Structure 1
Amino acid sequence: MARTRGDGGGEPVAQRGRPAGDRAARRAELLAAATAVIAQEGYASASLRKVAQRAGCTTGTVTYYFANREELVTALAESRFDSYDEMLESVRARGDVKALFERWLSHTTGDPEFWPVMSQLLSHARYEPALAAVIEQRYARYREVHAKILADGQARGAVRDDIPADLLADQLAAMGDGWMMMFPFESERFTPTRVRALVDAVLTLIAPVR
């Protein structure tokens, strides 16, 4: 029985046998291909066919791992938030707010594709309920962990406690998102010296009130 291709046109896709190789690694390769297509050609261009061409495989191979474009895009959003989670977990045990912002800025300035892709996912989620649900769920989890890190800092006297941790987390997340939004357009402003100054400014803003 044939399957229907999920990137438009209703063309049948023949069932194929299990592709050779490690499943997780192959999925990661396809997500990397989707990332490259969106970063270089835009969200609207990220059809299953284009992703397959970028990955050097057939559309049937893509549909083996992702049933349709919606599943591919939501998996890509999940992978973006996985990197956020890894960043948080790397500093959570120490409660090191400075390290968190250093990692945040390094993540932004070290991967030229990250924010251009993330911004397009966010803007299109308004019209795609499945994508919106993933972003809402994962961003809520991110804010929760971020707030816990700040609350731990407050308990140790390292973070101001006159503002609730959840409000601080929202404020700082908005600042970080703003940096990421501007980096693709003004990358020359984010020199190592300025990045250090931005981190120091954040630490001053959340320092305990004396």
Structure 2
Amino acid sequence: MPENPTRPATARDGSGPAGRRGRPTGDHEARRAELLEAAASVIAREGYTNTSLRKVAQRAGCTTGTVTYYFANKEELVAAVAESRFDAFDALLGPGRDHPGIRAVLERWLSRAAGDPEFWPVMSQLLAHARYEPAFATVIERRYARHRAILASLLAAGQAQGGVRDDIPADLLADQLAAIADGWMMMFPIEPKRFTADRVQALLDAAITLITPPPGGPRAPGA
């Protein structure tokens, strides 16, 4: 059957621009979510560079044409994966917004790492390649800024309640905690055996100590 002349052809390697196919049958959002999970799985196992639309299609049990209906090319697909990963980050922070508890947030952070072996490998790949891929570097920058802002608001609430040190601005503390969690993120896939239950608790204790007001310590000038 001849191709529709009004639609550009899909790149043979599955990485370039691709035309949209006829609408696949079934639940649109459910199928899109399945493709995002398949893409994340391929990225986690083979790395970003070795990920292609063809491999994602194979992982999802569909044709490359189905993938290109939802995502025009690899860059668009990976940008959508980045969005979905940060949606998960938002979910980690969400339960603490009404009753801030930084330890609980960090516990959920580490729990996600331990409970989903693909989560951190995918994020580390996205962060490592964002420098070279503007298509999803913009997504990461925008969503990461939102993530830090939410964390800063939780810390500011903790400062107002006296449970978080107030001699350092909340936004700087948020940067510090995000950097700590990013370090866990990068190392957990490489050294999972190092993150024993006891060590996780010790890491959490240390992180909380860093942001807790010292007993009887002086308040910052002007605080």
Tell me how many residue pairs correspond in the alignment.
210
| 1:132 matched residue in structure 2 | 137
- Note the 1:190-201 alignment, pairs <5 A: 190-201=195-206
In structure 2, which of residues 144, 147, 154 is the aligned counterpart of residue 142 of structure 1? 147
**CA offsets per residue over residues 17-69 of structure 1, 9 Å max, x none?**
32111111111110111111111112122111111111110111001111111
Q: 1:4 maps to which residue?
A: 9
Q: Deviations over 1:142-168 (max 9, x none)?
A: 010100000000000010101100000
| TM-score w.r.t. length of structure 1 | 0.94
Q: Secondary structure at the match of 1:3?
A: coil
Q: Which runs of 5+ in 1 are unaligned?
A: none
- Cα RMSD of the aligned pairs, angstroms, is 1.9
- Bigger Rg over Cα: 2
Name the counterpart of 1:56: 61
Q: Is the 8 A contact 1:4 1:13 kept in 2?
A: yes
Distance, in Å, in 1 between the alignment partners of 2:98 and 2:168 is 22
Distance 1:46 1:197, change over 3 A: same
The share of aligned pairs that are identical, in percent, is 66
Q: Which runs of 4+ in 1 moved over 3 A?
A: 6-16
Question: Where do 5+ consecutive residues of structure 2 fail to align?
Answer: 217-223
Structure with the bigger percentage of helix: 1
Q: What residue number does 2:125 align with?
A: 120
Equivalent in the alignment of 1:110? 115
Q: Distance in 1 between matches of 2:170 and 2:49?
A: 38
1:173 aligns with 2:178: yes
1:158 aligns with 2:156: no
* TM-score for both structures, normalised by structure 2: 0.88
The question of whether the paired residues in 1 share the 8 Å contact of 2:17 and 2:72 is answered with no
Residue 86 of structure 1: which of 82, 91, 97 is its match?
91
